[in-house]
Every structure is written in C-alpha cells, then in structure tokens.
Amino acid sequence: MRRVVQISDLHFGNNDPLLLAPLRKAIEQIGPDVLVISGDFVEHASEGEFIAARDFIRTLPVPQILVPGNHDLPFYNLVSRATVGLSLYKKFITTDLLPRFEDDEICIFGANTSRVWPIRGGSLSSMQLEQLAAEFAAVPEDRVRLLVTHHPFDLPESQGHRLIVGHAKRSINRLAPLVDILLAGHIHLSSTGSTATHYKTAGHAMTFVQAGTAVSNRDKGETNSFNSLLLKGSEEGGKSLIVDRWTWRKDATEFYCKCATEYRLESEGWTRAERKEPVPADAEVHVEPGVTKS
C-alpha cells in the first residue's frame, strides 16, 4: 500500500500566501510516500516567482515527481516563450523533464506536455509517447503504474474536451494496456473518472485523476483543493485506488478531507467501485487518507 499526494497549479505570483502553511501541514499529516506536483508552479515565469515556488516546495516531503505546466514558460510574451522556454524552470525547480519513481508496489513516470505554442494547449510527441510506452512495458504488471502530466488526457463530460492534451486518442490507445492511472492538472477543477467513457480500449480502461488548484487565486469557481491517493497493488487482493479530495475550509483555516472515491481494476479495466459521502462542511473532523467520516 502506498500513499501519493498530488498538488497542482500553484501559480506563484497569483496565489494566496495564507494557504501555504495549511497546505504543508495537511501534506505532512498525510505523510505521503511520494509527492506529485503536476505543473504551473508560477504565473508569469519570472525569476522571483520561481524562487518563491522553489523555496516552498523545498519545505515539502520527498521524493517528489515534478512536471512543468504551460505557465512555467513565459506566458504572455511569445518571443520570450520561444527563446527562454523552460530555462528558469530548469534553473529553480528541476532539470529533470523525465522524472521517475519506482519501488516494489508503484511506478510513477512524469512527462512534459507543455509547448511554446499553443500557449494553453499541450501534447506528447511521438518520441515521448514511444519512450513512455517502452518504459512502462518494462514495469512488472503487479505494480500500480501512474503517468503524471500537466494537461489532461480525459475529462468528465461536464467539463468538455477543449483543454485536453493534443492527439489524446493516439496517446490513450498506446498507453492504455500499460498504464493504470493518469494524473493531471491544468483546468483548476478536480474530478475522477474512467477513460472507458470516451475511449474504446477493450479491457484496458484507465482511471484519470484531476487535481484542482492548491493555492492559486485562479480557482475557476472551485474551492482550493488537492488529492491524496491510496494505492494497493496486485499482491494485496487486486489493484485498487482511493482518491481523497482535500478542500480548503476558510473559516477553520485548514484543508480537510471532503470526499473519497474508490476505483478497482476489473476484467475490463479500472472501474469505479463506490461513491463515499462527502464530509459536511461544518463537521469538525480530521480524516485519515483513504477514510471518510461523516
């Protein structure tokens, strides 16, 4: 059993500094085996923003899997976007654009989907896709295999598909037999679901997990949040996943576990097992990852 925390879209330069300490405290309370940050560390890709982001993530647990987002390139200046690119991200956050974590239960690969153009869109190149497929194919099937990108490959019907990664169908068809769970950010709205709704990959449906924005002011109508994942491999009675959504509660100045959703690997792929009731907004409870109280 492994615990993975996923935070996303920090947007330093357009973030609420009052959320930083509570976010750190909540993550430390969970005690993840791995911390994932799925892009958009900064808002305008300035040096000052990257320094602030670096100083914060250095206070968070390790190991970490970090991938860049479209805002981690200069966002509003196309000339700088093309010439500077991810150089400041590499200087202050990480030079590793192919991050990896693997132990005897889980395997997490990260991939960079951000591009100079379009500024909001993203994609995986054919070379990236084939490299990921080859590396995932070498991972024993009993391990839970996760892919982290900034741009999502799938979204709920209510959120449309305008912001998904380019050539998503090609990537899904190639990766579905090899990957269990897709982690992404970008749209500042949290959700989970099965790729079986939009993609026909018989016997190989994946679960997608979307993180909201952890500390950004750009909340898109959803309260700041992040995800905690409880993962079980084949040796523990079959692969399963519980996704806890931790949501900001302003009146208590804390993040709390609002709801949990469970998925299991069945014969047709990953399917939703049950929906657990959300915690009432006024409930004074502190929930352990993977457990929901009411």
**pLDDT tens, 69-89?**
999 999 878 888 889 999 999
Specify the CATH number for the domain of residue 212: 3.60.21.10
Amino acid at 214: A
Query: Residue 89 and residue 122: Cα distance in Å, rounded?
Result: 17
- φ, ψ at 251 (rounded to 5°): -65, -25
Q: Would you say residue 234 has pLDDT above 90?
A: no
Q: Are 16 and 218 in contact (CB under 8 A)?
A: no
Q: What confidence tens digit (pLDDT) does each residue in 15-70 have?
A: 999 999 999 999 999 999 999 999 999 999 999 999 999 999 999 999 999 999 99
The whole-number average pLDDT for the span 227-231 is 98
Neighbours of 174 (CB within 10 A): 18
Q: Would you say residue 284 has pLDDT above 50?
A: no
- Whether residue 96 is contained in a domain is answered as yes
Mean pLDDT of the chain: 91
Preceding peptide of 118 cis, ω within 30°: yes
**Euclidean distance between the first and the last CA atom of the chain, given in angstroms as a whole number:** 24
Q: What is the pLDDT of residue 274?
A: 66
Amino acid at 15: N
Q: In whole angstroms, what separates CA 107 from the centre of its chain?
A: 14
Q: Which long-range contacts (CB under 8 A, 24 or more apart) does 80-88 make?
A: 80/45, 81/116, 81/117, 81/119, 82/116, 84/45, 85/116, 86/112, 86/114, 88/45, 88/46, 88/47, 88/50
- Whether residue 282 is contained in a domain is answered as no
Crossing angle of helices 168-175 and 126-137, in 10° steps, is: 20
Amino acid at 104: D
The whole-number average pLDDT for the span 92-108 is 97
- Whether residue 175 is contained in a domain is answered as yes
Query: Residue 183 and residue 147: Cα distance in Å, rounded?
Result: 6
Q: Which of 90-104, 113-127, 164-178, 182-196 has the lowest mean pLDDT?
A: 113-127
Amino acid at 287: V
Q: Are 206 and 269 in contact (CB under 8 A)?
A: yes
Helices (H) and strands (E) in the chain, counts: 6, 13
- Using pLDDT thresholds of 50, 70 and 90, give the confidence band for residue 285: very low
The whole-number average pLDDT for the span 243-254 is 97
Query: Residue 78 and residue 61: Cα distance in Å, rounded?
Result: 35
Angle at 122 between CA 56 and CA 268, to 5 degrees: 95
Q: Would you say residue 278 has pLDDT above 80?
A: no
- Using pLDDT thresholds of 50, 70 and 90, give the confidence band for residue 93: very high
Q: Give me the domain span that covers residue 105.
A: 2-275
- φ, ψ at 66 (rounded to 5°): -120, 135
- Whether residue 293 is contained in a domain is answered as no
Q: In whole angstroms, what separates CA 98 from the centre of its chain?
A: 15
Tokens of 130: 């084939």
Cβ partners under 8 Å of residue 127, min gap 6: none
Cβ partners under 8 Å of residue 125, min gap 6: none
Is the whole model's pTM more than 0.85, yes or no?
yes
Query: Residue 69 and residue 37: Cα distance in Å, rounded?
Result: 10
Angle at 274 between CA 269 and CA 280, to 5 degrees: 140
- Whether residue 45 is contained in a domain is answered as yes
Tokens of 34: 């791995």
Q: Which of 76-80, 141-145, 254-258 has the lowest mean pLDDT?
A: 76-80
Query: Residue 203 and residue 206: Cα distance in Å, rounded?
Result: 9
Q: What is the pLDDT of residue 111?
A: 98
The whole-number average pLDDT for the span 252-272 is 95
- Whether residue 139 is contained in a domain is answered as yes
Domains held by the chain: number: 1
Query: Residue 189 and residue 167: Cα distance in Å, rounded?
Result: 22
Q: What confidence tens digit (pLDDT) does each residue in 190-219 have?
A: 999 999 999 999 899 999 999 999 999 987
The whole-number average pLDDT for the span 229-251 is 92
Neighbours of 270 (CB within 10 A): 24
Q: Would you say residue 3 has pLDDT above 60?
A: yes
- Whether residue 210 is contained in a domain is answered as yes
- Whether residue 179 is contained in a domain is answered as yes
Q: What is the pLDDT of residue 40?
A: 98
